[in-house]
Chains A and B, each alone.
Chain A
Amino acid sequence: MNAEPTPNTELTNALEDYLETIFELVKERKVARVKDIVKARNVKSASVIPALRRLADLGLIHYTKRESIDLTETGEATARRIYSRHKLLVRLFRDFLGMPAELALQDACAMEHNLSDAGVDHLVRFFEFLQSCPDGHDFIERFKGCTLVNAESPQDIATCCAKLALSQNDPNIISLRQLKPGQGGSVIRIQGTGAIRQRILDMGIMPEVHIQLERRSPAGDPLWVRVQNSQLSLRKKEADMILLRRDVPAAANTNAP
């Protein structure tokens, strides 16, 4: 090894990025050439050369003028570590949090150099959980269903959670159609679009409003419901569009002392 003191033994953020690029190029085309690096990183060759020299000084790459560049054994190990961390972050932002690909890449690049190894370990374990445990997978899927989540409107996260609970088979979150005569519940969401939805809204059926099923028509359809101060009839098909949280039977509370 080279005993000569080097002015800078530290692997800077910029150098890590170069190492990562070389790793990607080697993986892709077996060799990395200066002009490929220039192209991939969108920089001038004048700034690439000193960086390559420094990486060679650190013993991470084999670099001779006008020749193709290759990684040393230590270089490859270091590059692999940086690269997996990068990929992990890109996946976090893009695949799990649903950010646009370009923005995900940009944020991953900004973040990857500053994470501690322990932090990375924790993230890795969390991702393994999400990917391999069935619960974790469902969680991600449901989270993607709520892409409009916004910190400014907490009420909507609540609505979204109610939806999550629904897909988790919360027995108290059902559609209006599933109520039994005499039962009631408060509306969580109205699905669907267009004329039918607007009519339902116009009749005063909207989130947080209480609705009660009075009876069904002798033929089973339509339903007769009580909303606010009025009574309405609607078909099962329309009742299917109205999600609500069923009232917890009063008996359950009166049992307690």
Chain B
Amino acid sequence: MSQEIRVALAGNPNSGKTTIFNALTGSRQHVGNYPGVTVEKRTGTFEMSGTRVHVTDLPGTYSLSSYSPEEVVAQREIVDAIPDVMVVVVDSTTLKRSLVLLAQIMQTGDRIVLCLNMADEARTAGQKLDKPALETLLGFPVVETVGHKGQGISELKDAILKASQLERAPSRLVLGERLDTALAAITFHIAKTDIPKATHPWHAVKLLLDDPLYVDRLMEKKGPGKRAVQQAALERKKLEDLSGEDISLFVTQRYYGFVDGLLRETLLRSAHIDTRALSDRIDAFVVNKVAGIPVFLLVMYAIFWLTFTVGEYPMEWIENLFAWSGDAINGAWPAGKLDVLRSLIVDGILAGVGGVVVFLPNIILLFLGLAVLEDTGYMARAAFLTDRLMHRFGLHGRSFIPMITGFGCTIPGIMATRTMENEKDRLTTMLVLPLMSCGARLPIWMLLIPAFFPPEHRASMLFGIYAIGIVLAFLLALLLRSTLLRGEEAPFVMELPPYRVPTLRSVVGRIIDRSGAYLKKAGTIILAISMLMWLLTSYPKPPQATDVPAAQQPSALEYSIAGRIGKFIEPAIAPLGFDWKIGVATLGAFAAKEVFVSQLGVIYAMDDFDEDDDEDIGTLRDALARDYTPLVGFSLMLFLLIATPCMATVAITRRESGSWKWAFLQFFGLTAIAWVISFAFFQIGSLLL
């Protein structure tokens, strides 16, 4: 009864694969109307009539060549892991191109279910497909779906189960006599190795295409493997001489030939209504020569305005809630009993976690903005508009996706660099990504900007700090590309999907996802660090020396461990205008950027505000404004923008770049740059003011 099967989803980028995945498994994966949103394979499960189905969502690819990491990941799952059922998701409105991937997967010997997604759009465009005929010709189930509306999903589940019961049948792919003969000749040799039989046609075509991944694999098999490689070279030469084309074009044309034949038999009526007309009209305005850049800047500014100005109101409510809770606990606490615990709860946990949770509305609004950009399809236009600029700085239009994602969080941003084919482009983007001011730094700006600058300048200050990060990222990228990472550049061939109306489900789902992760972090790492900070700032208590006047006694905070650490590093940061309190908070920011805020909250709660427990964020701002000048404030903002990517960033850079070298370079390089810039800013500023 408890049978288990493994299913993998493959498809072109932006074919709605992830939507299908979410609909199947009921999970909430990040979906966008933007090619290349899935960068890592994800897994989920669903259960049906006693069978447990494990579903893997593969990164979207246009073909199974081995040029980009996504293509290699997809191949490993499709060819080597051999899933029980392979679901090929296809955008019904671009059948011709999409089905080429199906043709390739047919060579891998997997049991296939073809999922014709976005069937409603194709129908509206007037396309009519003979589904039964298609099933007969292909020899496997075909299901029509509308992923975002959940239509056709139960049929798809049925088809998956049905397909898993079937015997693995030989593929019905016909690629023309000349190619099929050549493949047969190569397969003859492959058959003598231990490569699984079902994947022989696939290995043969890869050898013919001289794919190093497969050539190496066969060369390892010694005798017969080597002969297969030699045979492939012979056949390649023969086909190239005969056709006058190079082999990759020859093979690609044969795939298209197969798809053409298939569609000739099954397409009853092709699309004749231009459903993209409205989208094209919007584009004619939104990306034209004159309006393109202003519209882009306006959109970006609107997101910051939404995040900052609109976010201010709900922020106040949460602030008040935490202040009220602190007061309530203090008021209700039996006087003099377990004062340490009271202090831990109010000064440690509430001040620390509260200081971070307060920014939840801003995080939600920022991700709302990004989600709408992605789902509507504007993000692809933004890449189109910015590629020239990115390119000039040695980056790539595809760097735009990770960098924009980096405004949310650096971690998914770095993971999104996997869509980039060129290793050097990818490393460059990865290394400069922490300069994109992430969501976790938003609380810092929200705390510091109002503390030091008048209301009319706040929005532009925020925009400014983001802009400084972007400019620095570009300059640093240029530097890296002309020194350490000099080399070839990758192609920029990107699909521009039509505009789509974002579904509430997708946008809300994503926001819940991201803000859930934020709250989780607040409840775990930040809670732990807040408690640790409380401990470090509370102990050891200074001795009550009676013979020294009170004014000359060190404050409790200075005497604590945190105070001593801060004092110890003070000489290094004093030239930037920072004192030991900022130093302590900055150290904490390495754990997670937003901890800076909670740390300051804890420090100030412990320091001067002992008698009135009014340690909400408003008074923290007042305290900062009292203790530091705007010059120090901005120097601090610069330092926090550039320096020390957080722990998680270091870890993910290590994982994605494959070596500690790059992670360390990123960490120490950025910190050094931050020091120099803050130093220069503060010193020059001090001279001028």
B380 neighbours in A (Cβ, 8 Å):
233
For residue B258, CB closer than 8 A to chain A, the reply is: no
Cβ–Cβ contact A200 & B97, under 8 A: no
Q: Which residues of A contact B290 (CB under 8 A)?
A: 218
Task: Assess whether A198 is in contact with B63, with CB atoms less than 8 Å apart.
Answer: yes
Q: Does A6 touch B at the CB level, under 8 Å?
A: no
B residues within 8 A CB of A215?
287-289
How many chain A residues touch B (CB < 8 A): the figure is: 42
Contacts A219-B389, A228-B97: A199 and B67 contacting too (C-beta < 8 A)?
A: yes
When each residue 136-157 of chain A gets 1 if its CB lies under 8 Å from chain B and 0 otherwise, what string results? 0000000000001110110010
Contact in complex: A230, B495 (CB < 8 Å):
yes
Q: Check if B62 sits within 8 Å of A199, measured CB to CB.
A: yes
Does A159 touch B at the CB level, under 8 Å? yes
| Residue A160 CB within 8 A of the other chain | yes
B96 and A222 contacting across the interface, CB-CB below 8 Å: no
A228 touches B495 (CB 8 A): no
Does A203 lie at the interface of the complex (its beta carbon under 8 Å from any beta carbon of B)?
yes
Interface residues in B360-388 (C-beta closer than 8 Å to A): 380, 383-385, 387-388
B248 touches A197 (CB 8 A): yes
- A192's nearest neighbour on chain B, judged by CB, is B491
Given A206-B256, A218-B385, do A201 and B249 touch, yes or no (CB 8 Å)? yes
> Complex: how many Å from CA A148 to CA B245?
9
Interface residues of B in 289-319 (CB under 8 A from A): 289-290, 292-293
- B78-86, B236-244, B540-548, B610-618 - the one binding chain A: B236-244
Q: Give every chain B residue within 8 A of A219 (Cβ-Cβ).
A: 385, 388-389
Q: Do the beta carbons of B496 and A199 come within 8 Å of each other?
A: no
A-facing mask of B93-127, CB < 8 A → 1, else 0?
Answer: 11111001000000000000000000000000000
Determine whether B144 belongs to the interface, using a CB cutoff of 8 Å to chain A. no
Residue of A nearest to B246 (CB): A193
CB distance from B50 to the nearest CB of A (A): 40
In the bound assembly, the distance between CA atoms of A202 and B292 in angstroms comes to 29
**Cβ contacts under 8 Å, B100 to chain A:** 202, 204
Is A190 close to B, CB under 8 A? yes
On chain B, the residues within 8 Å of A235 by CB distance are 387, 391, 491-492
Rounded to whole Å, the gap between the CB of B200 and the closest CB of chain A is 23
**Most B-side CB within 10 Å, residue of A152, A229, A231:** A229
Provided the pairs A156-B244, A190-B249, A195-B67 are in contact, do residues A218 and B421 lie with their beta carbons within 8 angstroms? no
Question: Separation in Å of the B382 CB from the closest CB of chain A?
Answer: 11
Contact of B385 among A196, A197, A217 (CB under 8 A): A217
Which residues in A have their C-beta under 8 angstroms from that of B73? none
Residues of chain A contacted by B563 (CB below 8 angstroms): none
Determine the distance from Cα of A30 to Cα of B67 in the docked complex, in whole angstroms.
64
* Shortest CB distance B571–A (Å): 47
Contact partners of A234 in chain B: CB under 8 A: 491-494
Cβ of B65 within 8 Å of any chain A Cβ, yes or no, is: yes
* Structural contact, B490 and A195, CB atoms closer than 8 A: yes
Q: Chain A residues near B387: list those with CB within 8 A.
A: 217, 221-222, 233, 235
Expressed in whole angstroms, the minimum distance between the Cβ of B542 and any Cβ of chain A is: 62
Could you say which residues of chain B place their CB within 8 Å of the CB of A198? 63, 65, 67, 248
Report yes or no: B492 in contact with A202, Cβ–Cβ below 8 A.
Answer: no
Chain A residues positioned under 8 Å from B384 (CB to CB): 217, 222, 224, 233
Interface centre among A200, A235, A238 (most CB of B within 10 A): A235
Total interface residues on B, using CB and 8 Å?
A: 50
Tell me if B385 and A238 are in contact (CB < 8 A). no
Chain A positions within 8 Å of B397 at CB level = 222, 233
Q: Is B271 an interface residue (CB 8 A)?
A: yes
- B490 and A228 contacting across the interface, CB-CB below 8 Å: no
Q: B388-403 toward A: CB 8 Å interface, digit per residue (1/0)? A: 1101000001000000
Q: Please give, as numbers and ranges, the residues of chain B lying within 8 Å of A230 by CB-CB distance.
A: 94, 97, 495-496
A202–B492 alpha-carbon span in the complex (Å) = 13
Query: 0/1 per residue, B274-289, Cβ < 8 Å to A?
Result: 0010000001000111
- B253: Cβ under 8 A from any A Cβ: yes
Determine if B154 is an interface residue (Cβ-Cβ < 8 Å): no
Q: Which residue of A lies closest to B489 (CB)?
A: A237
B493 in contact with A200 (CB, 8 Å): yes
A144 to B292, CA, bound (A): 47
Closest to B396 in A: A235
Which B residues touch A43, using CB under 8 A? none
B496/A224 in contact, CB under 8 A: yes
Most buried by B among A193, A202, A220: A202
Is B252 part of the binding interface, using a Cβ–Cβ cutoff of 8 Å? yes
A232 within 8 A of B: yes
Q: In the complex, what residues of A have CB within 8 A of residue B383's CB?
A: 233
| B-side contacts of A218, CB under 8 Å | 287-290, 292-293, 385
Closest chain-A Cβ to B245's Cβ sits at a distance in Å of 7
- What B residues does A160 contact at CB under 8 A? 244
Point out the residue from A152, A156, A203, A206 that lies within 8 Å of B62, measured CB to CB: A203
Tell me, rounded to whole Å, the shortest Cβ–Cβ distance linking A228 to chain B. Answer: 6
**In the complex, what distance in Å separates the CA atom of A222 from the CA atom of B490?**
14
Are B243 and A156 in contact, CB atoms less than 8 angstroms apart? yes
| Cβ 8 A contact of A231, one of B253, B256, B288, B495 | B495
> With the chains together, A203 CA to B246 CA distance in Å?
17
Complex-state Cα separation, A233 to B389, whole angstroms = 15
A204 and B96 contact, Cβ closer than 8 Å, known pairs A156-B244, A159-B244 = yes
A203 to chain B, nearest CB (A): 6
In the complex, residue of chain B having the shortest beta-carbon distance to the beta carbon of A209: B256
Whole-angstrom distance between the alpha carbons of A217 and B397 in the complex? Answer: 12
Q: Tell me, rounded to whole Å, the shortest Cβ–Cβ distance linking A29 to chain B.
A: 42
Chain B residue with the shortest CB-CB distance to A193: B246
Is the CB–CB distance between B496 and A229 below 8 Å?
Answer: no
Q: In angstroms, how far is the closest chain A Cβ from the Cβ of B398?
A: 11
Q: Bound state CA distance, A220 and B387, in angstroms?
A: 10
Contact A229 B94 (CB under 8 A): yes
| Contacting pair A233 B490 (CB below 8 A) | no
Q: Across the interface, which residues of B come within 8 angstroms of A193, CB to CB?
A: 246
Do residues A206 and B491 form an inter-chain contact, with CB atoms below 8 A? no
Docked-complex contact B96 and A221, CB < 8 angstroms:
no
Min CB distance, A248 to chain B, in Å?
24
Which residues on the A side are within 8 Å of B293 (C-beta)? 218
On whether A152 and B496 interact (CB within 8 A), knowing A202-B62, A202-B252, A221-B387, the answer reads: no
Q: Is the CB of A206 within 8 A of B253?
A: yes
| B481 CB, nearest partner CB in chain A, Å | 16
Contact of B97 among A153, A204, A216, A221 (CB under 8 A): A204
Chain A stretch 200-257: residues in CB contact (< 8 A) with chain B: 200-204, 206-207, 214-222, 224, 228-235, 238
Residues of B near A222 (CB, < 8 A) are: 384, 387-388, 397, 492
| Structural contact, B491 and A195, CB atoms closer than 8 A | yes
Chain A hits for B68, CB < 8 A = 195
A26 vs B71: C-alpha distance in the bound complex, in angstroms? 68
What CA separation (Å) do A152 and B239 show in the bound complex?
12
In the assembled complex, the CB of A150 is this many whole angstroms from the nearest CB of chain B, namely 6
- Distance to closest chain B CB from A17 (angstroms): 34
Min Cβ gap B598→A in Å is: 43
CB distance from A211 to the nearest CB of B (A): 12
List of B residues within 8 angstroms of A190 by Cβ: 249
Flag if B493 contacts A232 (CB, 8 Å): yes
A205 and chain B: residue at smallest CB distance: B493
Interchain CB contact under 8 A, A152 and B391: no
**Bound Cα distance from A204 to B246, whole angstroms:** 16
14 other contacts beyond A220-B388, A232-B494, with CB at 8 A cut-off? A156-B244, A195-B68, A199-B493, A200-B491, A201-B252, A202-B65, A203-B62, A204-B100, A215-B288, A218-B287, A219-B385, A229-B93, A233-B384, A233-B496
B residues with a Cβ closer than 8 A to A are 62-63, 65, 67-68, 93-97, 100, 240-246, 248-249, 252-253, 256, 271, 276, 283, 287-290, 292-293, 380, 383-385, 387-389, 391, 397, 421, 490-496, 498
Closest 9 CB pairs of A and B: A156-B244, A219-B388, A202-B62, A195-B67, A196-B491, A148-B244, A204-B97, A202-B63, A218-B292
What are 8 sample pairs from A and B whose C-beta atoms fall under 8 A apart? A148-B241, A199-B493, A201-B248, A202-B100, A207-B253, A224-B287, A230-B94, A234-B492
